[in-house]
Structure 1
Amino acid sequence: MTDTARNADTVAASAGTDRGIDGDWVSRLADEVVVEAKRRGMDTIVCASGISPSGPVHLGNLREVITPHLVADEIKRRGIACEHIMSWDDYDRFRKVPFGVGVDESWNQHIGKPLTSVPPPPGSAHDSWAEHFKAPLVDALTRMGIDFRGISQTQQYTSGAYREQILHAMRERAHIDEVLGRYRTKAADPAAVVAGQAKKLDADQEAAAAEAAEGSGAASEDDGTAATGYYPYKPYCDICQRDTTTVTAYDDETTALTYTCACGHGRTVLLSESNHGKLVWKVDWPMRWAYEGVVFEPSGVDHQSPGSSFVVGGQLVREIFGGERPVGPMYAFVGIKGMAKMSSSKGGVPTPAEALEIMEPAILRWLYARRKPSQSFDISFGQEIQRLYDEWDALVRKVTGDSAQPGDLAAYQRASSTAAGELARTPHPLPFRTLASVVDITTGHDDQTLRILSELDPEDPLESLDEARPRLTCAENWVDTQVAAEDRTRVRVEPDAELLSGVGESEREELRVLLEGHADPALPRLEDAWSLDGLTTQVYGVPKVLRGIEADAKLRDPELSKAQREFFKLVYRLLIGKETGPRLPTLLLAVGLDRTKALLGH
């Protein structure tokens, strides 16, 4: 067993205590959920998520899934029976055509139909809109080690699983209307609530507040009120398949329900037999809490404003369905740096599947595990991804060296493993920024890539590229998708004769020392320094020794730093025609010894 795994096991053991780990929000929530389940007398604890596959399920939606997963996983680690259910809200209405998903305005004809009755985008391998957007999320969650039991609401409603609950809600419609009436006059505008949250973040998110509230299940959501009276059930039209219907009458004794539709069709059906409709959202959600016995389910800020579904649901689940509202913390926004709050209705926002193209699963899990659900944060796909990998590698070193703080140790353990075991990891992890630089220079040439990577550390050489994957694959994908063509590194084919002829004596001496070495033993010939560490000492040491400073001396000197920067600019210009580029030691390894000498005029 590795030191990292052994220390993670120590965390798992300590997480099994009643109090959990100091600074670990997962343990604290798990404590609360276990106590609540015991009070209810439940043998198996149910944690729930709900996702509507109305479009690409983005990284903001992932918080809806990963928060219950982490809590359920912690409970399982304690040896307590627990299940994470995923309610696929695929019987929801198709509200609008998203942007950027490969469909045109002709899909407007399907607005109002259940998501499982809408055809998928052209070329899809799936048979419905809902399945098309569910599939990549399921695959991503599997890669992330997130285990759950999926529940299709289309299957539940059309099979009659909720028939008794629907009939009961219709009998209790006056009571439901009275409960909802308590909140209608004091319901906050959900866009204002979201805007208030956004003001704590940045201007981009504040500007997207109205979009955040739209279709969120908050106070603006249809609660069943109509001019014909209050009915908590909304049928789908038998002719046009849309929910553009109005219930005009209902008989409690016979369960005869009469509706008219905007398409001109009208019909009377027996609700004790018909399975072509659903409860309105504010009644549907608390019904399912009671039906599934949910003990834990978080929700977004827009669900927890006064008069919104989580608040009203707490009354309805108790007074109508004889159940209890789950422990339900509010979770905050997750954004993409430089992009307003994510919305799947607009398209073009990154999904978990896309994030996993450039992030190892443990790192994506870590982004969520290390922060309380109430803490908002941004995810960057730009240059910051290199710093994210650096931070993760630093954490791994702390865990391995037994110097990590309890909270950080817990976050690491939850990111890198589940109750079922450890996630797959890169066997020979190299710094992401180094991999990205090498891939940038070699343009994906495997032989060249292996040559360079195997020379990074002569004491622990990489034997095959497979040892560096999946991190190497992530670096390749990042360079291909996130680095603009004008920012790619292109090594000169021929030396820059004009530049070489114009360098001064001091610059020429710097190049000579870099290539031929110095009397200082820490600065040998370039070929004898040919490793990542050796070349690092070499390039930083040249300006030092020419100023009478030992090559491996550690000191802070503004003048020396300026001289180093100027020296680096010269080498970059000679190698790639720019004044900046990949870290110079990595660049030298990538260019190769002979070509480096030639380009530097040797």
Structure 2
Amino acid sequence: MSDLRDSAMRSKAWPFEEARRVLKRYEKAAPEKGYVLFQTGYGPSGLPHIGTFGEVARTTMVRRAFELISDIPTRLICFSDDMDGLRKVPSNVPNQEEMAQDLNLPLTKVRDPFGTHEGFAQHNNARLCAFLDEYGFEYDFASATEYYTSGRFDEMLLIALERFDKIQDIMLPTLGEERRATYSCFLPVSPKTGHVLQVPTLERNVAKGTIVYEEPDGERIEIPVTGGHVKMQWKADWAMRWAALGVDYEMSGKDLIDSVTQSSKICRVLGQRPPESLSYELFNDEQGQKISKSKGNGLSMEEWLTYAAPESLQYFMYQKPKTAKRLYFDVIPKAVDEYHQQLRAYPDQDADKKLANPVFHIHGHNVPTSDMVIPFSMLLNLASASSAEDKGTMWGFIGKYAPDASPETHPGLDAAAGYAVRYFNDFVKPAKVFRAPTDQEQAALQDLANALKDQDIALKAIAQKNAAMGNDDPLPEADYSDEDFLQSIVFAVGKNHGFEPLRDWFKAIYEVLLGASQGPRFGGFIALYGVDETVVLIEKGLAGELG
């Protein structure tokens, strides 16, 4: 264990770099609260999206890394800012007209447009927790409404009241003239309407713990800042939460860099040290637009899991958090295959490389063994060529290619076969565009079909290619069950027909036979799909019967 800890202390994997920054906070003494606190924040003004999951996943990776380099206990709080007022109705929910009647109410008081929970925030909180629970995250859920109304924040709210002017001095220079004229770090919850009001604080009484504000109808009202009668403005609220709970680490999106700066200043005004932070790049949709909860663009957690196992999503989240990534459906196959490549590499790696392998940060010390004997991208092409409607059809081909595999012995592969059929039918099939071959391509495809039918023709094609390249290696043994031999046939035919660069030959195969501009290593595809079946596929492509 000491050797592993030594490796972790020098590892350049980003979760360890983050964990070492957290550990440095306590190089002189352990935290008085008895644990290191990691926090993620979520605003339930819209449905949870994949970015929310990513923040929990990444923070968990840092937490796991910290636990390897330190014996200090840890906690992770997933905090829902559900006392905020509803400022606009999300565009991706039903019953929007009814919801519009609840504008400015705290999110826990806004009606649930889906009709399943007491309020909109409760619905979104439940969806988030259900997913995190299903995935096995260890966390404590926290509700702003419960923390405010139960008095958990009262002590820090009174300190904020006492230091009101200093907080205002931090915030006012960052605001426009109009906003500056009405800004207060305290937002009263109106006893008349229940609305969260953005109004100036007219008076404050530190001894009584109250503020005075004016209702929209002109009446002046005095309310305590404790007990859930007020909600703090966003940046001040973030700082107050850090200070009240003793948060040690919280990451956030690049769009919140300025908020982190201001909240950190306020946290110090409240007498506490702000947490360590990581500003990660945002996810964009297919058009390069920022993913938004209210717009509902980009992928949801549920959508990813419709087409791939959750570990592939974790893998995607691990990759370069400070680099912007587009997040839409066609990133899924690549993430799946790369994840399994890392799984296969892990057992033979030394300690340093294991700690740099994404699968360690996904699974900790319990890294599973991959049973994906066929890449996901290959399964997609198999689904395409076979027009598979269910994974049973897929297993008819898989069983011939990998006779030792079965749904019972290879459950991951079985699940992937089902995902591949679903992904193909929803995304690949509608976008498939077959084209007729050129004269050069037609001659080459016919020769490829002939070589797959007759080993003498195949070996002659390989010999011709070798001679043209000045290669005097002996001819391979003709083995039509060997994907390397099949690949050598495909390669030789392309060379013999003068394709330069050779990738134009493979591009032609994919476009004519699979209706796509890119595809798998074709020798492996032939081995999986079947030699005879591939010959039939080529003949259909030559006859124009695939489109």
- Residue 410 of structure 1 aligns with an amino acid whose one-letter code is A
Q: 2:12 aligns with which of 13, 23, 45?
A: 23
- Counterpart-to-counterpart distance in 1, 2:306 and 2:156: 43
The aligned residue for residue 109 of structure 1 is 101
Aligned pairs for 1:250-269 within 5 A: 250-262=204-216, 264=217, 266=219, 268-269=221-222
CA separation of 1:508/1:180 partners in 2, compared to 1, >3 Å: closer, same or farther?
Answer: closer
Secondary structure of 1:375's aligned partner: coil
Q: Deviations over 1:114-134 (max 9, x none)?
A: 111112233x53332223333
- Residue 67 of structure 1 aligns with an amino acid whose one-letter code is R
Structure 1 position 462, deviation (Å): 3.6
Secondary structure of 1:50's aligned partner: strand
CA separation of 1:221/1:254 partners in 2, compared to 1, >3 Å: closer, same or farther?
Answer: same
- Counterpart-to-counterpart distance in 2, 1:238 and 1:357: 45
The aligned residue for residue 284 of structure 1 is 237
1:417·1:423 contact (CA, 8 Å) conserved in 2? yes
- Counterpart-to-counterpart distance in 2, 1:349 and 1:563: 33
Secondary structure of 1:398's aligned partner: helix
Structure 1 position 324, deviation (Å): 0.9
Secondary structure of 2:117's aligned partner: coil
2:145·2:228 contact (CA, 8 Å) conserved in 1? no
Q: Deviations over 1:329-356 (max 9, x none)?
A: 3222232343312222322221233233
Structure 1 position 44, deviation (Å): 0.9
- Counterpart-to-counterpart distance in 2, 1:507 and 1:349: 39
What is the TM-score with the length of structure 1 in the denominator? 0.73
Q: 2:277 aligns with which of 319, 328, 342?
A: 328
Q: 1:301 aligns with which of 254, 272, 284?
A: 254
Aligned pairs for 1:373-452 within 5 A: 373-382=321-330, 384-402=331-349, 406=352, 409-418=355-364, 422=366, 427-440=371-384, 441-452=386-397
Structure 1 position 149, deviation (Å): 1.1
- Counterpart-to-counterpart distance in 1, 2:538 and 2:288: 42
2:391·2:414 contact (CA, 8 Å) conserved in 1? no
Aligned pairs for 1:150-189 within 5 A: 150-181=141-172, 184=173, 187=174
Secondary structure of 1:296's aligned partner: coil
Structure 1 position 578, deviation (Å): 8.9
CA separation of 1:429/1:154 partners in 2, compared to 1, >3 Å: closer, same or farther?
Answer: farther
- Counterpart-to-counterpart distance in 2, 1:285 and 1:297: 11
CA separation of 1:506/1:443 partners in 2, compared to 1, >3 Å: closer, same or farther?
Answer: closer
- Counterpart-to-counterpart distance in 1, 2:225 and 2:407: 67
- Counterpart-to-counterpart distance in 1, 2:275 and 2:508: 62
2:48·2:300 contact (CA, 8 Å) conserved in 1? yes
- Counterpart-to-counterpart distance in 2, 1:507 and 1:369: 42
- Counterpart-to-counterpart distance in 1, 2:531 and 2:195: 69
The aligned residue for residue 338 of structure 1 is 287
1:16·1:77 contact (CA, 8 Å) conserved in 2? yes
Structure scoring higher RCO (CA < 8 A, sep ≥ 6) equals: 1
The aligned residue for residue 471 of structure 1 is 416
- Counterpart-to-counterpart distance in 1, 2:93 and 2:372: 37
Q: Which structure 2 segments of 5+ residues have no match?
A: 460-474, 541-547
The aligned residue for residue 363 of structure 1 is 312
- Counterpart-to-counterpart distance in 1, 2:539 and 2:170: 83
- Counterpart-to-counterpart distance in 1, 2:285 and 2:489: 39
Structure 1 position 523, deviation (Å): 6.8
How many residues in Structure 1 have an aligned counterpart in Structure 2? 516
CA-atom RMSD, angstroms?
A: 4.0
- 1:352 lines up with 2:310 in the alignment: no
- Residue 41 of structure 2 aligns with an amino acid whose one-letter code is G
2:391·2:418 contact (CA, 8 Å) conserved in 1? no
Structure 1 position 478, deviation (Å): 2.5
What is the TM-score with the length of structure 2 in the denominator? 0.79
The aligned residue for residue 312 of structure 1 is 262
- Counterpart-to-counterpart distance in 2, 1:317 and 1:579: 54
1:298·1:330 contact (CA, 8 Å) conserved in 2? yes
